[in-house]
A and B are shown apart, each in its own frame.
Chain A
C-alpha cells in the first residue's frame, strides 16, 4: 500500500498504529457470548433437562417418602406443602452443576485463554455464562413451581410472601451458580464436576430439614441439620410459602436473616474468586 495522507485520525509516527486499540463493545460482546450459550441449548433440546430435573426431584421425594414421613408426623397440613422448598433447592443445585460443567469445559478446552487474548473486558465471558445460567434457572424454577403445585402445594402467604418465595428461590439459584462457576473454572475438570451432579446436593438436601423435621434426626447430628445452609434456605422458603392450617413459622427478620446472610456470603466469596480467576492474565 502506498503511503497516502491519513484520512481519519492522524496515524502515529511510523504508521504502525501501535497506539490504536480496538474498542471493546462490552455490551455487544456479552450479548453474543450469551446467545452462544443459550441458542444451542434450545436448538439441541438440551434445555429439556432443566424442565425435567425438578419434575424428577418432585416425584423422587414425594412418592417414596410421603407415607413414611406422614406416618411419623410432621405438624404440617400436607407433605407436599412441607417438602416444596427442597424441590426448589434441588432445582437450583442442578442448574448450578450444569454451570460448573460449562465453566470447567470452557477452562479446559482453552476457550478462556482465547477470550483472554481478545480485546474485551475480562469479565465478559463469566458474565455471559452467568446470564445463560440465570436463563436455565428461570426455566427450572417455573418447572419446579409447576410440579410442586401439581402434588398439592399452594401459596398460602399472600402476594408479598409469594413474591418473596420466588425471589428467594432465584437468589439462592444465582448464588449457587456463581459458586459453581468459580469451582468449575478452578477444577478445569468436567469429569470431576459430573460426579457432583447427583450425590453431594442429595446428601446435603437429605441431611437438612427439607425432607424431615429436625427432631426426627438422631441427636448427635441435629445440630448440623438445624444449622446448615440448606436447612436455613428451606425454613425461609417454607415460612414464605405458608400453610393452610397456619402451621408454618411466621415470617420474621430473625428467620430470614440467616438465609440472606448465607446467600450474601456465597455470592461475595464466589465473586471474589471469579474476579481473581478472570482478571489475572493467564
Chain B
C-alpha cells in the first residue's frame, strides 16, 4: 500500500491563497502557462514576430524613398517605431480573443474555485503580454537595423526605446481586456483592427506631418501612436523629447486608469460565470 511521504515544505502551500508570496508565485506560474501557450502555437508565434518585419520591409520599399526625398530624413526612424507599436497592438487583440475563449472553456472559473490568488490571473496576463511585446520589439528592431536603422543617442536612450512599445501595448491591452469581456468576439476583433489601421495611417510614422492636409494635422500630431513614434524617434535619432514623452505617458496612463477598473471587474465577472 502506498503511503504519503512527509510533504516537502517547499512544495506545499504554506501560505494563504490571498498572501503576497502566493500572488508572486501564482502569477509566475500563470505567466509561464500563457507564454508556453504562445510559444507552442507556431502560427501565432510567426504572426507576432515575422509579419511586422514584413510590414516594415514593405513600408521601406513602398514609401521609404519618397519620404526620404520629401523630408530629407531616413523614413526608418519613423516606420521602425510605428511597426513595433502596430505589432504590440495586433498582439493585444489576439490575447483578447484568447481571454474570451478561455472564459468560454471554463478555465477562468476553474481557477476561481481553486486556491489561487485572485489577482494572479490578471497580473499574469499583463506580464505575459509585456514579455510578448518586448520580444516582438527586439525582433523588429534587429530587422530594422538590417535595413539601416541605428541608435544614435546612446545605450540609455536605446534601453528606454525598448520600453515605450511595452507601455503603449499594455495600455491598449487594458482597453482590449475591458472590451473583450463585455462584447461579441468578432466585433471586438474587427473594431480594434480598424482602429489600429487608422492609428497607423494617420501617424507621423507613416508619412511626415507635412504630407497631411492642414485640417487633419492637429489630430495626426496628438494621437497616441504619433506621440509614441515621436518619442521613440527622439530616443533613436535625436530631437525634442520632452513633449512627446509626456504625451505618451499621459495617453498610456490615461487609458490604463480609464479601463483598469472595468477590466478587473470584467475579468472577475468572466471568472464567476
Residues of A bordering B, CB below 8 Å = 44-46, 49, 52-53, 56-57, 59-61, 63-68, 71-72, 94, 98, 101-102, 105, 108-109, 187, 189-192, 194-200, 202-203, 206-207, 211-212, 216-218, 221
B190 — nearest CB in chain A belongs to which residue? A49
CB within 8 Å of A: which of B61-75?
61-63, 65-67, 70
List 14 A–B pairs whose Cβ atoms lie within 8 Å, in order of A's numbering.
A56-B197, A56-B198, A63-B202, A64-B207, A64-B212, A68-B211, A101-B185, A101-B189, A189-B44, A191-B41, A191-B97, A194-B94, A194-B97, A194-B189
Q: Given A46-B184, A49-B191, A64–B90 Cβ distance below 8 Å?
A: no
- On chain B, the residues within 8 Å of A61 by CB distance are 201
Is A190 a contact partner of B211 (Cβ separation < 8 A)? no
B216 CB to closest chain A CB, in angstroms?
A: 6
Q: Given A60-B198, A64-B207, A195-B93, A221–B43 Cβ distance below 8 Å?
A: no
Is A64 a contact partner of B44 (Cβ separation < 8 A)? no
Closest CB pairs A-B (n = 10): A60-B201, A49-B190, A192-B43, A197-B193, A195-B47, A191-B94, A199-B51, A46-B187, A194-B189, A203-B58
- Confirm or deny: B101 has a beta carbon within 8 angstroms of a beta carbon on chain A: yes
With A and B bound together, what is the CA distance between A64 and B82 in angstroms?
15
With A and B bound together, what is the CA distance between A56 and B65 in angstroms?
25
- On chain A, the residues within 8 Å of B206 by CB distance are 64
With A and B bound together, what is the CA distance between A67 and B58 in angstroms?
20
Residues of B bordering A, CB below 8 Å = 41, 43-44, 47-48, 51-52, 54-55, 58-59, 61-63, 65-67, 70, 86, 90-91, 93-95, 97-98, 101, 104, 184-187, 189-191, 193-194, 196-198, 200-202, 206-207, 211-213, 216
With A and B bound together, what is the CA distance between A72 and B48 in angstroms?
34
- On chain A, the residues within 8 Å of B58 by CB distance are 203, 206-207
B32 CB to closest chain A CB, in angstroms?
A: 19
- On chain A, the residues within 8 Å of B191 by CB distance are 49
- On chain A, the residues within 8 Å of B54 by CB distance are 199, 203
A63 CB to closest chain B CB, in angstroms?
A: 6
Is A198 a contact partner of B201 (Cβ separation < 8 A)? no
Query: Chain A: interface secondary structure?
Result: helix
B61 partner, pick from A65, A190, A207, beta carbons under 8 A? A207
With A and B bound together, what is the CA distance between A53 and B189 in angstroms?
12
With A and B bound together, what is the CA distance between A45 and B206 in angstroms?
31
Query: Chain B: interface secondary structure?
Result: helix
B44 partner, pick from A45, A57, A102, A192, beta carbons under 8 A? A192
Is B47 a contact partner of A196 (Cβ separation < 8 A)? yes
Q: Given A101-B186, A197-B189, A68–B93 Cβ distance below 8 Å?
A: no
- On chain B, the residues within 8 Å of A200 by CB distance are 51
- On chain A, the residues within 8 Å of B194 by CB distance are 49, 52-53, 56
With A and B bound together, what is the CA distance between A217 and B95 in angstroms?
36
A67 partner, pick from B41, B90, B200, B211, beta carbons under 8 A? B211
B207 partner, pick from A68, A98, A191, beta carbons under 8 A? A68
Is A44 a contact partner of B187 (Cβ separation < 8 A)? yes
- On chain A, the residues within 8 Å of B65 by CB distance are 218
A211 — nearest CB in chain B belongs to which residue? B62
A224 CB to closest chain B CB, in angstroms?
A: 10
A50 — nearest CB in chain B belongs to which residue? B190
Is A198 a contact partner of B197 (Cβ separation < 8 A)? yes
Is B51 a contact partner of A191 (Cβ separation < 8 A)? no
15 A-B pairs besides A203-B54, A221-B61 with CB distance below 8 A are A44-B187, A46-B184, A59-B198, A59-B201, A63-B213, A64-B202, A64-B211, A68-B67, A105-B186, A189-B44, A192-B47, A195-B47, A195-B51, A195-B90, A195-B91
With A and B bound together, what is the CA distance between A161 and B65 in angstroms?
36
Is B55 a contact partner of A203 (Cβ separation < 8 A)? yes
A60 CB to closest chain B CB, in angstroms?
A: 4
- On chain A, the residues within 8 Å of B104 by CB distance are 109
Is A68 a contact partner of B63 (Cβ separation < 8 A)? yes
B190 CB to closest chain A CB, in angstroms?
A: 4
- On chain A, the residues within 8 Å of B94 by CB distance are 191-192, 194-195
- On chain B, the residues within 8 Å of A192 by CB distance are 41, 43-44, 47, 94
Is B189 a contact partner of A218 (Cβ separation < 8 A)? no
